[in-house]
Amino acid sequence: MFWYHDEIEALEKQRTASEHNPDTIFYGSSTIRLWPDLQTDFKDLNAVNLGFGGSTLAACTWFFDRVMLGYQPKRLVLYAGDNDLGDGRHPEEVFLFFQQFAARVNHEFGDIPCYYITLKPSIARWGIVDRFKFTNHIIGEEIKNNLPNWHLIDIFSAMLNADGYPNAEYFLDDGLHLSEKGYDVWRDSIKNALS
């Protein structure tokens, strides 16, 4: 986990320097970190961006204390797991990391509303799309059956074209990160879920 050190240290400094407590934490991988207008898009939710590049769900859990402690959010939005699968982990491993993360959130923040954004159908990782679908399914079932304060935001379906493939307009040339239009879809989907 040493390769995340600089970004985690920056997030720690950001928390220390902050003069107000955000109501909404956005946490997760580079899809969150690179969101250019996140705080503006969710200004009414008093949001803070705590994403760090390349992060896995395992890393989000590992660094929870260093990044989160000191905040007192009213809600949390998480996007992670994409990179775990990209690194060769299995859906069941990602599921276990999610369970650990949810338990950590509950221990620290109580039963605040939490939102898990399903893994996106990126062009670059379409070759392992079945793993993405299965991960989304088992995490969705866990939320439905065992985590009443968690909610699933289905971004996967929203990013497909009429033929059932990733809509290229929503991605940058790398086929992984989001374009401006992609972030528009995310913004609208998340706002609908949180309203």
Decide: 4 and 61 in contact? Cβ < 8 Å. no
191 vs 142: CA distance, rounded Å: 23
Residue 175: the pLDDT is: 96
The structure's pTM equals 0.94
Q: Kindly provide the b/e burial profile for residues 103-128, where b requires at least 16 CB atoms within 10 angstroms of the residue's own CB.
A: eebeeebeebbbbbbbbbbbbebeee
Residue 1: the pLDDT is: 53
pLDDT block averages, 10 residues each, the chain of length 195: 71 75 94 94 95 89 91 96 95 97 96 98 97 98 98 98 97 96 98 92
Residue 3: the pLDDT is: 54
Residue 106: the pLDDT is: 96
For the domain bounded by 2-194, which CATH number is listed?
Answer: 3.40.50.1110
